[in-house]
Each structure stands twice: as C-alpha cells, then as structure tokens.
Amino acid sequence: MIILFLLIFLAVIASPASAAVSPPDFPSCLAPTGSLKVSYTSGTHGIPGDLGTYTGSDSVYQVVGSDRLIQCFCPASGTSGIQTNWWKVGDLSGGEIDDFVKLGWIYVPSGALWGLDDVAYLAKNVSFSCGGGGSIPTPSPATPAPTFSPPGAGGAPVCDSAKPAAPVLLSVTRSGATATLVWSKSENATHYSISYGLKPNEYTYGVANTGNVTSFTVQALDPDQTYYFAVTAVNNCMPSDLSTAPVGGAVLGAFAPTGNLITIFTLLGLGLSFLGLSVLTARRFRRGQ
Amino acid sequence: MASKLSLLFLFFSWLSFTFAGYAVWQRYSPVPLPPPPPATASGLPYRIRLSSVGLDLPVYPADIKNDRFPTTPDGVTFLASSQLPGQPGTAIFYGHNWLRLLRPLHRAQPGQVVTVTFDSGTTRNFIIQNIKVVSPKDISSLSPVSDSVSNLILYTCTGFLDRQRLILTAASV
C-alpha cells in the first residue's frame, strides 16, 4: 500500500505541469472556423518565433466563445502555408508556461504587437497546404515550425478599412459533390470568404478568399450531406457580418410568391364555411324555440 | 345566444367573401396603376418595359427581409441585393401575375427586347434569351452564366393555383 502511494506521489511530482493543463484544440486553416477578425489578401506579414518576413495573404479567425485564435498565412507563391495557433496565457503559472515552451510553444509577452489584446499569449506554428487560387486547400500533415526565436518580427496589423455590408446569399445550387453559391455584391468588398458546415450557424469548413466575385463553386463536398453556407464580404482586411439566409441546398428556398389564387380560394372556402356554420346555427336556434 | 353566434358566423362569412372579392379585383382589374414616386437619381431601375406585349411598369427596389421576398401591388419589384442591370451578374425583377402587372409576360417570346430605365434617365436593353416554367424551389436559373455576363431575370407566377414560376432570362445588348 505504501509503495502504491509512493508511486502515485512520484508520478505526480515527475509529471510536467503541461500534462495537468492540456493545450486546447484549434481548428485547422484547412477548414477555418470562428469569426474572421482580419483578412489581408496580400502584404508582408510576420510569423511569431521567426525573425523573417513573409509576403502573401493572412487571415485571423477567433474561435467562437474562446480566447483562441488561428492565423492562416499563405505565401504569394507556393502552397506552404503557416498556421499560427494563438492561446491566451490567462491563469497559467510560470512553470506551466515553461513546460509549454519546452513542448514547442512560443511565449509572446504581449499580443499588442500582433494586433491582438495586450496580454500574454502562447503561440505555435504548424504548416498546412494552401491549395492556391481560392480553391479548397488539400490536407497535409501538420509539422512544427523548424526554428524558435524571440518574437518581434512583422508589425502589428491595424485594419482601418471600412466594414463592408453583409452580402445576401441568393442561391446555392447543389450538384453531387459541388455547390455553386451566388451572392449579392457588397460595396467596398475586395474579396469574399465562404463558411459552410453541416449545421446552421456551425461552419466548420471555409474558403478564405474567393476573389472579388459574386459566385463560387465549392468542391469536394459529401454528396449525401446537407450543407449550410454563409458568405462574408471583406474590405482589404475588414470582414462584414455573415450573409443572411444561410440555409442548405437552396437559399431563400424559392422564388417570391407572385400569385394570389391560393389566397382567393382560401378566402372563398372560409366564406362558405362560415356561411354554412351560420345556417346550421340558425336552424338549431329555430328548432330550440 | 345561438342567434348571435349565427350572426357572428355570417359576419365572418361576409368578411371572407369581401376580401376574396378584393383579391379577385386586384388580379383581374385593368385599372391603371397609381403613379410611382418621383425619381431620385439614385441609379436604381425606375421602369421596365417590354413593348412587344404592351408592358410598361414602374419598378420598386426592395430587399429581402426576414428571409422573405417583398412584393408590391403597384409595379415590379427589383431585388436591390441582386446585381444592377448592366453590371456583370444577374439583376432580378419579379411581380404579381395580375392583369395590370406581369400577366402579359405569358405572351413574351425569345428575341424580344426588355428595356430598363434608371431613375437617372438612362436606359439599358436586354434581349430575351429563354423563357421557362419552373418549380418555385428550382432556383438554378439565378446562377449567373459567367462573372462577365450581364443578365436580367424577370419572373411571375403561373400554372395551377399559381404554383409554378414563369422565368424570363434576358442578356444585355
């Protein structure tokens, strides 16, 4: 018995703090979820833990209801993207932070330099395949960033572009594994992004940048699943609210009702019914007298 | 008591027949439409004309609210969130199939010209490419031909109990 307690005691002592606090899950930039905070179609960007600068597109999503963010960088040429997972340190102790740093996380004393809140973050880079050309990226195994260096590369992105109006999703035409979306043009939009998923308002997949178009064909869908779609207009780096009418298959369901024959027949039916009831009630009243 | 109930039913019956009569009058009355509000030079469509079938109607821009399409008894609705006529994409117009509104659309033929007049005074012509009858839920017609082509869609109800949609697709000249 004593030996058992001793073993448990040693296990607790020997285990790193990070084993007690597990790092949270982050969505993949292959299918980003959450709210789009900023999105740059081009420009020079910094990657935490890397003193170099990178040219390409950069989008930041905040995981809904949490302090986690993912930053998805795709280079101007090539498909080797870098996903940075950002995690607010919060109540982590110094020892726990040290343990996470040993596991490859980068300690960022203040997120202000990166356009985030002015609190400490832990960040971790993983690679992903961007796909290119606005198409859905193809999955690739995530690997840690090769080097670690103190933060400071790049500038804090401040988006002062006007917020564009949310587009209206006019139609979604499903055909097997593809869905063609058509949406309304939004003033000031430089490009659009599409979010979609298997449940309304739970978008687990996405196309970060469709270009400045008002239709896009999403591919590689499961033909047996119903998908729900929403489109966001983006003005340089400032995203709009999600488009209205996010439904699956056929957005807005149908063309407008432009006839009134059903109304006419319904009213005539009601009129006859009330007339019949009136006659029946009157007869019963006469019999009762 | 039963006498009062009978009178109440009679009143509802009269009310239903009155509303039905009004709806029938709306549908089949050839009375002229009320004059549209003055043009504001906002760059939106103001009138739509299909001379070959004698159709010349005011346009009322409106947008989807609470996932419902607005309609007007006084003209044709232009879906403001669709593309402006003449711009790459699809401009969507629709209206009731009443005698004084889009009932004449049933006589339209491919090759005829649809003219959209903007409130700025400029006009834009479209040639009817095809006319088809579809289910209200078959909205594949809204898909643009391409990002560079300017299309116009004008539709109204048709068929048994107005349960189908007559879709007219026209391309910019």
The model's confidence at residue A12, banded by pLDDT at 50, 70 and 90, is very low
In this structure, the answer to whether residues B81 and B139 fall within a common structural domain is yes
Domain harbouring B145, CATH code: 2.40.260.10
| Any A CB within 8 A of B142 CB | yes
* B47-106 residues touching A, CB cutoff 8 A: 63-64, 67, 69, 71, 77, 81-83, 87, 89-90, 92, 94-98, 102
In this structure, the answer to whether residues B74 and B13 fall within a common structural domain is no
Helix (H, G, I), strand (E, B) or coil at A138: coil
pLDDT for position B100? 93
Higher pLDDT, B90 or B97: B97
Mean pLDDT is lowest, of A77-86, A263-272, B2-11, B68-77, for: A77-86
* Residue A3: pLDDT over 70: no
Domain count across chain B: 2
Of B89, B136, B144, Cβ closest to residue A254: B136
Give me the domain span that covers residue B90.
45-172
In this structure, the answer to whether residues B13 and B52 fall within a common structural domain is no
Average pLDDT over residues A189-199: 86
The end-to-end CA distance of chain A, in Å, is 97
For residue A183, CA distances in Å to A245, A254, A260, B72, B147 come to: 11, 15, 28, 23, 12
Going by C-alpha positions, the residue among A181, A177, A180, A179 that lies closest to residue A223 is: A177
Residue B99 placed within a domain: yes
Q: What is the pLDDT of residues A202-232, one digit of tens each?
A: 777 888 788 899 888 888 888 777 778 889 9
Residue B40 placed within a domain: no
In this structure, the answer to whether residues B81 and B162 fall within a common structural domain is yes
User: How many A×B Cβ pairs under 8 Å?
Assistant: 151
Going by C-alpha positions, the residue among B122, B157, B107 that lies closest to residue B45 is: B122
Task: Tell me the longest C-alpha to C-alpha distance in chain A.
Answer: 101
In this structure, the answer to whether residues B104 and B129 fall within a common structural domain is yes
Average pLDDT over residues B8-35: 92
Burial A191-214 (b: 16+ CB within 10 A, else e): bbbbbbbeeeeebebbbbbbeebb
In this structure, the answer to whether residues B79 and B147 fall within a common structural domain is yes
Closest chain A residue by Cα to residue B65: A244
In this structure, the answer to whether residues B21 and B64 fall within a common structural domain is no
Residue B36 placed within a domain: no
ipTM of this predicted complex?
0.84
Going by C-alpha positions, the residue among B42, B60, B40, B150 that lies closest to residue B101 is: B60
Q: What is the pLDDT of residues A89-103, one digit of tens each?
A: 888 877 788 788 777
- How far apart are the C-alpha atoms of A19 and A99, rounded to whole Å? 9
Burial of B70 (0-12, 13-18, 19+ CB in 10 A): middle
* Residue A240: pLDDT over 50: yes
- How far apart are the C-alpha atoms of B156 and B165, rounded to whole Å? 6
Of B16, B94, B161, Cβ closest to residue A274: B16
Q: What phi and psi, each to the nearest 5 degrees, are found at residue B87? A: -85, 155
Of A259, A270, A285, Cβ closest to residue B16: A270
Helix (H, G, I), strand (E, B) or coil at B168: strand
User: Which residues fall within 8 angstroms of residue B116, CB to CB, at 6 or more apart?
Assistant: B45, B47, B48, B49, B59, B85, B86, B91, B123, B124, B125, B126, B152
